A and B are shown apart, each in its own frame.
Chain A
């Protein structure tokens, strides 16, 4: 069990900067994120893209901004729980919140700052009508243990690095590997593309391009579930063929979803959490929402606005955590940075 002053859900730029502003007020923070690393979309989606609207930086790469933020918050020794999703929230008798993650980590804090950006990144699921019936029965969106596929007949779909890399890796594990991709070209790393083409020439990977998987067939397992037996491949010509498969692994990257937070009793408007611009509080006292995940009249989804929101939010959080203490505003130029003990 982890206890802290502010549980920050989302370790993107806005969540990271919250640690700094909270730290100046001697408040401790713990960050929780579904991604395995900090930085949110900046690290996950566009680390090499330049950002031009961070005050004082004419140009900064998204990945570098995250590195700098990590350095800036180092003196405050925040805790990190990465690769886990906030699932359930409860209110304890003492008024604090208890959040349980997807891996049963328990975090207790009097204040929660939701800095969830676009939401939790989850695998994109192909729009095949009955695909949910096959999940965990032959359809997997993430490869957890390659050994699971030993001796099996597998079909991978997608054209990026993960589709290429897994196809190459599974050639030595699975009985048969087919890779289905919508066009002839691949966007993955050049040597992976080359390897896949060579393996296809050797007949070890069945490469099916200009095609997509449009249907799944299986045997009923009861309860509406089915065990995968075959996939339907639709070719560019419009022709459809059936192909035997024990496993279908669609690898189409990640897309953000609001996730379980949507069920936390917060006022939500078009996938964003409504807040009061006085302190970015949600309708639930003690829960704040900052950055891209919130909405209010005039909202702009900009990192710099998120920094502002985080700063004002921390002042309000302090008053909530220490109702009896006086909060005196200080400039870092005057007082410097007094870190927190680790």
Chain B
């Protein structure tokens, strides 16, 4: 399978264009960590910590947030309509060209 491109805008507004494989069962949180972007992913991807909270800026049709993801967003801050947890977004060909911005870190 072919790599896709994902753009991540960090908290200093710096754009990072990432080449992402789609055959490694990666999620966006893991992708960010592998590129050493400032995403903690404290809970390891169980939708239990919100440290991978991001805003989806492109108009991709994404799978709807699960109840678990919505629940965790309830406990997060700076939540907007386009908020998602990176760990719940799987790197699939449908995400080619995705643009996300990392949400501010909460205390």
Binding site for B on A (CB under 8 A): 41, 45-46, 49, 118, 124-127, 158-160, 181-183, 185, 187, 212, 252-253, 255-256, 301
In the complex, which of the residues A125, A187, A255 contacts B71, with contact meaning CB atoms closer than 8 Å?
Answer: A187
By the criterion CB–CB under 8 Å, are B44 and A255 in contact? Answer: no
CB neighbours (8 Å) of B74 from chain A are 158-160, 181-183, 187, 252
Tell me the smallest distance from the CB of B81 to a CB of chain A, in Å: 8
Interface of B, secondary structure class, is: loop
With A187-B70, A256-B42: A126-B77 Cβ-Cβ less than 8 Å: yes
A-B contact pairs, 22 of them (CB 8 A): A45-B43, A46-B46, A46-B48, A118-B42, A124-B106, A125-B107, A127-B77, A127-B78, A127-B104, A158-B75, A159-B71, A160-B71, A181-B74, A183-B70, A185-B70, A187-B67, A212-B79, A252-B74, A252-B76, A252-B77, A253-B75, A255-B106
- Is the CB–CB distance between A182 and B71 below 8 Å? no
**Across the interface, do B106 and A127 meet the contact criterion of CB distance under 8 Å?**
yes
Interface size class on chain B is 10 to 19
Chain B residues with CB below 8 A from A159, complex form: 71, 74-75
The reply to whether A124 and B42 form a contact with Cβ atoms under 8 Å apart is no
Partner of B49, one of A49, A127, A255, A301: A255
| CB atoms of A252 and B75 under 8 A apart | yes
Residues of A within 8 A of B75 (CB): 124, 158-160, 252-253
Residues of A within 8 A of B104 (CB): 127
Assembly CA distance A118 to B49 (angstroms)? 11
Residues of chain B with a CB closer than 8 A to A118's CB: 42
Considering only residues 23-72 of chain B, those with a C-beta below 8 Å from chain A are 42-44, 46, 48-49, 67, 70-71
Extra inter-chain contacts (19) besides given A46-B46, A127-B78, CB under 8 Å: A45-B43, A45-B46, A124-B106, A125-B106, A125-B107, A127-B77, A158-B75, A159-B71, A159-B75, A182-B79, A183-B74, A187-B70, A187-B74, A212-B79, A252-B74, A252-B76, A252-B77, A255-B49, A255-B106
